[in-house]
Amino acid sequence: MKKIALIISREYLSRVKKKSFIIMTFLGPILIGGMYAIAIWLAVNADEMNQKKNVYVIDETEQFKDHFRDSKSLSFQYVNSNLDSTKKLIEGDEDSYVLYIPNLTKDLSGVQLYSTKQASISVVSYIEKEIESELKDKKLVENGISRDILKSLDMDVSLNTIRLTDKGEESGSAGASFGIGMFASVLIYLFIFLYGVQVMRGVIEEKNNRIVEVIISSVKPFQLMMGKIIGIALVGLTQFVLWVVLTTTISGIVTQKLSSKMTSTTEQTTGVAVGAGASAFDQSKQMSGNDAAQIMDAINTINFPLLIGTFIFYFLGGYLLYSALFAAIGSAVDNESETQQFMFPVTIPLIFSFVLSSSAVANNPDGPIAFWMSMIPLTSPIVMMVRIPFGVPVWQLVLSMVLLILGFMGTVWVAAKIYRTGILMYGKKVTFKELYKWLRY
């Protein structure tokens, strides 16, 4: 154990003292927060930033005139000219379209949209919804329902989710749970790749410099591999803890300033509403503020100590499992360019779990796909972090942790067999068949 401790100390101190580690430790939370802030700002202001596009409508049915509503990104103009002459209007103009509605079929399956550049999904979807809405309204009117009644049927329903717990009723938010779970899974995904690759590169560097030949004369290959893996794991854990402290401090300051700003804005809005008779527009703004408050309340009900504790466990478990495989890959090759053929099969479960987390797992966190993927050690570090904010039974969480520990032990056993043989082998390109032979030694 003394030799492993010395290797851990050497790997840890050599990386923690680097300027790049210190700089990224302090810049990391700012960069991540800035990235999310920019992404949210761009999503909210995307329509305002884009140039408004013109849609020339040729309606042979004369049914849709003045029924297409302009949006932030689309402006509709009705023309009486024929199709060929109208298509000439948009030649060389990437911001214009020609919508042709022929008077051929009842279901309007022949509707066409012409453009010099492929129309985006949002443009096509908006036009389709406008056409479908008008067709539905027409059929309802034909059956004796007036348009005034149709307008009165438009309602905006906001569903409040409340969880029944041992402590009583707690408000919740599916959006907040999804966002927090995905954020945690993204961090684990990045950490595993970032520090796992560091293990692989360290092994390749020592192997190419022939330093490993000297080290192996004093320690066993297994001790060297475990020391390197655990040492870099502590580096990652140190950086994560510092990121949590810095992020909490920064977010606390930002939240305090935003709260005071929102409070003053709400007071001004309330004063205007009273003076003007509380118009519908003011009421909608107040409702938006209530929705934001409900989301903040839902975030506050999430068990963050459990979330942080499980994050550390699954980060360490996932890292130890994959870094053992990365160490084995590093020992089997002579340079980093040869690692690709081995990296892809190893990282497929990680990528697969990350992709499914944002779809199947988030949509049904208690379904069979989410359950089994949170039990399999190769996918559980990502999937379980998405499920935890939604609530996971204790027995499932314990079983997942036990299986991850067993999976790590099995992976280390396999990786150690490859490591002890490959670490002293030079000048030979290794194949999967060769690796299988090493496992049988």
Within 13 A of 35's CA, how many CA atoms are on the CB side? 7
Provide the terminal-to-terminal Cα distance of the chain, rounded to the nearest Å: 25
pLDDT higher than 90, residue 402? yes
Within 168-216, strands assigned E span: 168-172
Q: Where are the alpha helices (DSSP H) in 50-160?
A: 83-89, 121-142, 147-152
Each domain of the chain, given as residue ranges in start order, spans 52-151, 164-241+274-440
Whether pTM > 0.75 for this model: the answer is no
- Mean pLDDT (the chain) is 76
Q: Where on the phi/psi map is residue 386: left (φ > 0), alpha (ψ -120 to 50), or beta?
A: alpha
Fold of 52-151: D-Maltodextrin-Binding Protein; domain 2 (3.40.190)
pLDDT at 398: 92
Q: What is the pLDDT of residues 272-309, one digit of tens each?
A: 344 444 443 344 344 444 555 555 555 555 677 788 88
pLDDT higher than 80, residue 318? yes
pLDDT at 86: 82
pLDDT, mean of residues 306-318: 87
| Those residues with Cβ within 8 angstroms of residue 339's Cβ, 6 or more apart along the chain or in another chain | 200, 204, 329, 330, 333
CB 37 within 8 A of CB 250: no
pLDDT higher than 70, residue 53? yes
Position with higher pLDDT, 178 vs 55: 55
CB 222 within 8 A of CB 350: no
* CA dist., res. 232 & res. 13, Å (int): 10
Q: What is the pLDDT of residues 60-112, one digit of tens each?
A: 877 777 788 888 778 888 888 788 888 888 887 777 888 888 876 566 667 88
